[in-house]
Amino acid sequence: MSKMAVGDMRPTDHGVVLQWRDITYSVTKKKKDGTLDTRVILNAISGDTSGGSLLALMGPSGSGKTSLLNALAFRVPKGPGAMITGAIYADGKLVETPSQMARMSAYVEQEDALFALSTVRETLMFAAQLRLSKDMPLEEKEQEVNNVIADLGLVAAADTIVGNEQIRGISGGERKRVAIGMDLLHDPRLIFMDEPTSGLDAFQALNVMTALKDLAIEKGRTIIASVHQPRSSIYALIDQLVLLSGGRLVYAGAGQGACSAHFAALGEPVPKDFNPADHFLDIISVDYRTPKLTESTMERIEKLAKGVAREEVPIIKLGLDNAPAGAGDDKGLVMGFTSSGRAEAEQNSKDASRFWIPFKLLLARTWREQTRDTATLTIKYVMQTFFSLLFGVVYLRMARDQTSIQDRTGILFFQAMNQAFGSAIGISKIIPQQLKVVSRERAARMYTPLPYYVSTFLVTLPLELIPGVVYGTVIYYMTGLREGVGHYLIFLAVMTLENFAGIGLGMCLSASFTSVEMAPQLAPAFVILFLMFSGFFLNESNVPVWLIWLREISFIRYAFQALCVNEFKGAEFSCDGSTGSCVDGDEHLERLKFDDITIGGNCGILAGMILGFNLLALGIVYYRQPKYLALEKKTQ
């Protein structure tokens, strides 16, 4: 079979020489009877590639392409029983941790996780500002973005929003190229791609693969992509091929004629006028239609796997005459960037741990994404205006009589409830909406969770607080709640604190949910739980002992109590005898069991809850950041 010549395995100033040996990935699970069941997903896979080439990982569905790609990129998610062994060398140096690999490479995921309401240029500019050196002037970063836009054929789409399933934006192929572009900005020498053509029509797929091939040839980069069923024009672009079947290697070497010759020698020549890629996939797939076919196809795969006869390529040695500048320096090699990119990468890794640069950029992006969603904002504000006016009209200028006591209590409860629902439920979908993009950016070490969390929280404040103050004011004066600027300001302050607490709860829920769909389903249930124990539906003293903790953490309760004390403490209400017994404000508070509540005390508790909810949410964001398996042991 054709094999990679040792001479090709030279470190250059362009692509990384990547060599992997005996990569074995297994997942062990406990069966019901207590015995252990180990599934080998990748079985001792070895291979080599270097700069200027496009290597395709191919195989039938479930053969292990994505697993191998992830293993090489150190992107196999940590999970119970999962273990990877083997060794991966970059330019002759053993790569030991996911962060070493992350710093030297780019990984373009199968799913294009991009923000829908940012334009192509804004999306790339965001990545440029986080991935290029902070010392690089803004104009140069803009120039880099322009270069990537031109290189990937995105000039016509540069100022169009990315879009998604609901919002029309750029095409699928363009979206894929933007996702690739984001990872190319820092000029990585090694690029991993998971099915770059998936979901694209034949023409778009060819465009994307041609762009990758150009990158390999013109910039000398090392590109490794898992590819599903390539058409012949795409197959023609592939320089090297790794074929897998059931987690076993059936071919590793040059593509095109060499691969065809290898299979012809094993008795499986490519039929005339046949797409070679289709033929290879056919002969390495198990046909389960009948037991006989299953047996014969498995025998054929066994024969092909045995015929791999991979001739060992030695791991390249450092310090060769042709090594790139800095090749003797461990750090340079592990960083794996071009000489110009290396300094940037070092700088970059420092930037990633800094707060302010990512914070400002994330703040601007989240603000842009939230405020450009005009349809959602319009519906939200129109509904809030409608309900505020309706409420104001129904309770228009209440008299200060006995019947108004119940109405006032109802209005205050409605306000406390509305505030909680609006903020907590609205906010709860923000993080799941952004989760995929943020996970990808976090995996690429672009920023830490802290600037992400703080910026997301801050963006929600004006969008929630300002309307809250406006609608609160409208209702306060239309309905004729307690007179006096002091009472009005306390009303607004309590409502604002409750809003903050609701946003904090929303952020906790948001950080816990994995899908946008979960948010509207589950968030109301949490708010209703707090609502039940707010003191309005259930008298304070009637809460079952085992549910007292729910009452104690109901932020709606603290807000409602404070609003009631503000409205009723020391207040007099006229009595004409028509309602039977007459009560004043203090007696009403006593009936509600709110007589020993202080506004300051409750506001203090709300402030504590705001802090608590937000710290909890931040903790969840930290806990849920992507974690990848390291190689367990090295065989060389």
Ligand X SMILES: Nc1ncnc2c1ncn2[C@@H]1O[C@H](COP(=O)(O)OP(=O)(O)OP(=O)(O)O)[C@@H](O)[C@H]1O
Give the strand order in the sheet containing 240-245: 105-108, 190-194, 222-226, 53-58, 240-245, 248-254
Total number of residues that touch ligand X (CB under 6 A) = 14
Residue 557 beta carbon to ligand X: minimum distance, rounded to whole angstroms: 44
In this structure, are residues 48 and 19 in contact, taking their beta carbons and an 8 Å threshold? yes
Residue whose CB is less far from ligand X, 281 or 316 = 281
Residue 232 beta carbon to ligand X: minimum distance, rounded to whole angstroms: 20
Which range of residues in 55-63, 428-436, 528-536, 602-610 is near ligand X by CB under 6 A? 55-63
Q: What is the largest CA-CA distance in the chain?
A: 107
344: number of Cβ within 10 Å: 22
Q: What is the DSSP string of 358-413?
A: HHHHHHHHHHHHHHT-HHHHHHHHHHHHHHHHHHHHHTTT--SBHHHHHHHHHHHH
Residue whose CB is less far from ligand X, 27 or 343 = 27
Interior angle at CA 226, CA 21 and CA 627, nearest 5? 70
Which residue in the set 19, 67, 409, 614 belongs to the binding site for ligand X (CB under 6 A)?
67
Q: Does 59 bind ligand X (CB under 6 A)?
A: yes
CA 35 remoteness from chain centre: 36
Q: Does 245 bind ligand X (CB under 6 A)?
A: no
Residue whose CB is less far from ligand X, 235 or 471 = 235
Q: Does 82 bind ligand X (CB under 6 A)?
A: yes
Which residue in the set 35, 61, 374, 578 belongs to the binding site for ligand X (CB under 6 A)?
61
Q: Does 211 bind ligand X (CB under 6 A)?
A: no
**What's the rounded Cα separation, in Å, for the pair 228 and 56?**
9
Which range of residues in 59-67, 270-278, 383-391, 473-481 is near ligand X by CB under 6 A? 59-67
In this structure, are residues 567 and 479 in contact, taking their beta carbons and an 8 Å threshold? no
Residue whose CB is less far from ligand X, 226 or 566 = 226
Q: Does 62 bind ligand X (CB under 6 A)?
A: yes
Q: Does 422 bind ligand X (CB under 6 A)?
A: no
Q: Does 520 bind ligand X (CB under 6 A)?
A: no
Residue whose CB is less far from ligand X, 62 or 220 = 62
Q: Does 66 bind ligand X (CB under 6 A)?
A: yes
Q: Does 626 bind ligand X (CB under 6 A)?
A: no
**What's the rounded Cα separation, in Å, for the pair 238 and 53?**
8
Residue whose CB is less far from ligand X, 61 or 541 = 61
**What's the rounded Cα separation, in Å, for the pair 431 and 414?**
27
In this structure, are residues 227 and 58 in contact, taking their beta carbons and an 8 Å threshold? yes
**Six token digits for residue 221:** 């980069």
Q: Which residues does 635 contact at the CB level (< 8 Å), separation at least 6?
A: 21, 22, 85, 86, 87
Binding string to ligand X for residues 586 to 615, with x set by CB under 6 A, is what?
A: ------------------------------
Which range of residues in 58-66, 253-261, 445-453, 560-568 is near ligand X by CB under 6 A? 58-66
Residue 45 beta carbon to ligand X: minimum distance, rounded to whole angstroms: 11
The site for ligand X (CB under 6 A) is made up of 27, 39, 41, 59, 61-67, 79, 82, 228
